[in-house]
Every structure is written in structure tokens, then in C-alpha cells.
Structure 1
């Protein structure tokens, strides 16, 4: 498949452009240690990433991807504050770009595509990561998980991006590794590309029927 008449590429961040799981896991375990709770292996925490900081920490407090219905709200609020401080101090220590991401993004920009980031990660962490990994200056618009009232899989962020960039959904492609990206794109009547690596809770991304599934980020150059 080759996409036509697309001008804007909307990228998820965690699990799509960067592997931030090591630093997120460090901050989660620092939080749990401070609260006197058991810590977890990075691989387990990896499976909890993708729905924003509050959901991540609630999953850690619940010891499960399914958040406990009896989770104490005061504990959740306290844990989130600890986590955010811990993560801010180590936001780009072990975080890396996935293979071919940097060169591909630069090539896409040189080809004239407008690039934007739509992520569920809190906005304040995005710029330090982009700067630390040499990706700053590539993106025309950045929308974080707390930029608006709702986030993926709700289409609000995608619709807002279209408004800010003065384009239609038909001119855009949402590119991500998670069902949240694909579901948000469908709700916004936007085509999407699913990536097979990243954080999708152990599910195959093609289950959610993006228009195209890729295993290598560089393959975007052959379909655009």
C-alpha cells in the first residue's frame, strides 16, 4: 500500500519513536520503594506503559495492568507526585530512539512532510526527551497527554492537531504502536499506520486494523 495526498504525519512518542521504558521503570520502582511496596522487573512495567502517567502508576499500585477498583485515591495521588518527580530527574538517561527513527524523521521532513507528536505522556517531559535524543526542531506541533481535557484513544488530540495545522483528517496519518493510536485515528476518521514493536499490552497491532502495519520505522519512506 502507498499513501497519497498526505501532508501531515502525527506520531505517537513512547513505543513509536522512543523506548522510554527503562527510565519509566526506574521512576516507578523508586516510587514503590518510597511507599514501602514491592518493586517489579522492567519487562513487567513495560507492559503497563502507554496510557499516561496516572494509569501507569495506578497499574503499579495494583500490581496489574488492570487497575484495582479498590485503589485508594489518596495513595494514587501521593504516588503520582513521587513518580513525576522521580521521572523528571531521570527523563532521558536510558531512553533511546528505536532503530532508524532519527534518520527517517529527518528524511520525511526534507521531503516536505509536516511532523507532529501526539502522545499520552505529560507535556513537560516531551521536550527534554526530544532534546536529549537530538530530535528537537523536527516537529511543528507537540500535544501531550495533559495538553487537552482528553487523550488517546479519544480523538480530541487528533482533531485539535488538524485545527492547529489547518488541515483535514484526510491529509493526515496517525502513526503509532498502540491500540490507543489506532482507535483514536478511527474515531477521527483518519488513516493510520501500526508499528509492531513498542507497547501494545501483548496484543498484535493488526487486531485493530490500521490501514498499514510496519515492522521497521524506515519503511515509512517507501509508503509515503
Structure 2
């Protein structure tokens, strides 16, 4: 039996790309730059707001030589656009709320996301699932973020659980790599983002196709 379960947010519990894309494109247009299609932006999500903005400014998943003044201006615009439109189009994935409502009665649950905390909590609140979680860690809650193992190990300390008896649930290589470094078993969901790469490359312990499958793994 698991002692705690940790969840990524974007691409795992929620599909936030439509709202992220709208905010990112509004930022680009305000800066006089060309917007991108949503399917392109979907491949850039997962490393936090800072990297997302840099990828949009460069038009590349591996941005280089971004002017810092432009980046700082762009980041501020993006934060303003996104903060005012967090849940216009964002949705929970199927059966997430029902499954979480069952799991939280048996296990301590935590959110470990690279999304800034100021955005993560209001989104959870808007879907009425914030009270299911004993701990919410944003990408700016600690000095390190995924794929560094520190957020996961910090959650283990806060929830007084053994890493080997915990479980990480996520959609991308960042979740899998962080969990493996922390010696935490990891479940990958097959409906998320992961930069258009197959999840099998990173060898998660389990891959699920429906959120309710979690109940048989814990």
C-alpha cells in the first residue's frame, strides 16, 4: 500500500494548453510577433512559464540567445494575460475528479507542478479539487523544479513518507526523470504532452490509458 501519491498538473490532471496558447499568442501579438498554432505550443509545455515564454520568443523547443530585456517584458505580459484567463478553456481530463475524490480518503495527495504556484492553486480551486491535496508545490515553490528530484523528496519529507512507498503520476519525461532520481515509482499517463516523444523512451514503471486505472496500482 502506498503512503502518498504525487501528481503533476498540466497534461496529467488538466488540459491547460488552450488557455496557455491564448495567453502566449496575446503576448506575441502585443510584442509585434507572429502567433503560433495551438498544436505547436502544446509541444512546448512542461518546463514552467519561463521556458514556455523563451520557446515562444525563439520559435524553438531549445531557445538560444534570447535578449533578456525582451524576455523580461514578454514574461510580464504573459503573466498578466494568463492570470486573467486561467480557466476559460482549461478542462479536467475524464474521470480525474471522481478518482481523486476516492484516493484522497485513503492517501495523502500532493501536486508537484512546474507551473507557478500563483496559477496552480486558483486552477485547482476553480475545479473544486484543491481540498484533495495536502500539499501543493509550484515550479517556484523551491529553488529546483522537475526534472530535479528535490520537489519530490521535499514532498516526501513534508508528508512523512518513504520515497519507495510513494507514487508519482505525470505525463512527461520531467516527471519520470525526477521520480527515478528520487527512487519513487512512477506512473505515466498517455494523454499528456511530453514534447511529442513516446513515454516508453523514459521507462516509467506503469503507463495508464484511463485515470481510474490508478486505483488498482495503489
**Interval containing the TM-score (normalised by the shorter chain):** over 0.9
1:135 is aligned to 2:129: yes
1:181 is aligned to 2:175: yes
Q: 1:38 aligns with which of 34, 38, 42?
A: 34
Which runs of 4 or more aligned residues in structure 1 lie more than 3 Å from their structure 2 counterparts after TM superposition?
Answer: none
Q: 1:52 aligns with which of 40, 48, 59?
A: 48
The correspondence of residues 26-105 of structure 1 with structure 2, limited to 5 A, is: 26-67=22-63, 69-105=64-100
Tell me, in whole angstroms, the C-alpha distance in 2 between the residues paired with 1:119 and 1:162.
15
CA offset digits 1:163-205 (Å, max 9, x no partner): 1111110121010000000000011011100111111000111
Tell me, in whole angstroms, the C-alpha distance in 2 between the residues paired with 1:149 and 1:135.
26
TM-score (norm: length of structure 2): 0.98
Tell me, in whole angstroms, the C-alpha distance in 1 between the residues paired with 2:112 and 2:55.
22
Who is 1:7 aligned against? 3
Tell me, in whole angstroms, the C-alpha distance in 2 between the residues paired with 1:113 and 1:207.
29
In structure 1, runs of 5+ residues without a counterpart are none
Who is 2:15 aligned against? 19
1:113 is aligned to 2:90: no
TM-score (norm: length of structure 1): 0.95
In structure 2, runs of 5+ residues without a counterpart are none
CA offset digits 1:24-81 (Å, max 9, x no partner): 00100010011000001111111110000000000000111121x2211111111001
Tell me, in whole angstroms, the C-alpha distance in 2 between the residues paired with 1:70 and 1:136.
38
Aligned residues: 218
Q: SS where residue 118 of structure 2 aligns? A: helix
Pairwise CA RMSD: 0.8
Q: SS where residue 194 of structure 1 aligns? A: strand
Who is 2:199 aligned against? 205
Who is 1:151 aligned against? 145
